[in-house]
A = this chain, B = another copy of it.
Amino acid sequence: MAVVRRGVGRDGRPTLEQVAARAGVGRGTVSRVINGSPRVSDRTRAAVEAAIADLGYVPHQAARALAANRSNAIALVVPEVEARVFAEPFFSGIIRGVSAELADTDIQLLLTLIRAPRERTRFAQYAAGNRVDGVLLVSVHGDDPLPDQLAAMGLPVVMTGRRSAREPVPYVDCDNQGGAQLAVEHLLGRGRTTVATITGPTDMYAARCRLEGYQEAMRVAGKPHDDELLALGDFTEESGYAAMKELLRRRPALDGVFCASDPMAIGARRALRELGRTVPDDVALVGFDDSSLARHMDPALTSVRQPIEGMGRTMTRALLRQIDDREAEGPRLVLPTELVRRASS
């Protein structure tokens, strides 16, 4: 025979039923108050709120999730293949933005690192299991099918960055091309005549955009197209080092380099030092990301800053809107970038 103890939580915590009893109303009414329904009279609402405060009631999330079929959680997915993402402030900036935006909701942030392909599958399954209401994807590669998979499940998804110019999945990106163009215009404006670039991996859309920004600035300045001023990197310091050596071999007289990432700029700087070139006198250097590396390079690195925290906030806001209203249009936003001038240029 079940002991009747309506409304007493199993570990002593008050339940909604207890609140209802205390306020002298029904369960439904308390639920309405908690969920901010307008269909409650002011008198009743006040009584319920008082009861909630008295009892120190906190809704039981699992019960809510089960009954309402939503989890009150969103996932932030980081493909950690990009260890880079971690070392740099990019990732933490995104987290900061996301959690700032989540701060006055009761939505939880689940952090999910995906390393192995196995984990990728696993997460897709996990997401299929009603465990998150939406997904934020960070730094997705050009050929990653995960965004489409998730979107196909009907799960709201927002990415940072695009995979291509025609990105089907909603995204919040920054103006990679514009930033790169600013950087190169800055170098040219400082009187540099032979400006090279070290690119990111060309299978990444962001890297291609930065290259286009470089090319556009050169074109506007009336510089003839010159493939010898272009060296491929992959965003890593090592690749920057190698690319810089190659560039100097080809064009010993170059006097400016736009690097598509800060670590590559660090590598380039090392190569320059080894070959006896000074920065910025012989060669001016500009990076991209405005990471802490930039500030600590010697000389401090001029770099293109992305509004990382803002991107985090924006994508979160957009995701929440989509969760609220499945019909809502997903974001397709490109936020501005700016040049932070330091001693290296």
Contact = CB atoms under 8 A, between A and B. Distances in A.
A61 B108 CA distance: 15
Contacts of A119: 103
Contacts of A95: 111, 113
A87 B59 CA distance: 35
A99 interface: yes
Given A87-B89, A92-B86, A111-B99, A130 B66 contact: no
Contacts of A99: 111-113
A54 to B, nearest CB: 15
Interface string A77-106: 000100000110101100110010001000
Contacts of A60: 66, 129-130
Interface stretch (A215-223, A251-259, A289-297): A289-297
Interface string A14-27: 00000000000000
A89 B86 contact: yes
A11 B66 contact: no
Interface in A110-131: 110-113, 119, 125-126, 128-131
| Candidate in A60, A62, A128 with the most chain B CB atoms within 10 angstroms | A62
Interface in A273-302: 292-293, 296-298
A285 B53 CA distance: 57
Interface string A48-61: 00000000001111
A211 interface: no
Given A130-B60, A130-B62, A96 B113 contact: yes
A13 B130 contact: yes
A95 B111 CA distance: 9
A164 interface: no
B298 A129 contact: no
A73 B125 CA distance: 17
Interface string A260-284: 0000001000000000000000000
Contacts of A126: 58
Contacts of A10: 69
A299 to B, nearest CB: 11
A95 B66 CA distance: 29
Contacts of A188: none
A187 B211 CA distance: 47
A109 interface: yes
A63 interface: yes
Contacts of A71: 61-62
A110 B110 contact: yes
B131 A61 contact: yes
Contacts of A111: 95, 99, 109-111
A18 to B, nearest CB: 15
A112 B112 CA distance: 14
Given A110-B108, A129-B60, A92 B96 contact: no
Q: Which 8 A-B pairs have the closest CB atoms?
A: A62-B65, A58-B129, A62-B66, A86-B92, A111-B111, A99-B113, A62-B62, A63-B66
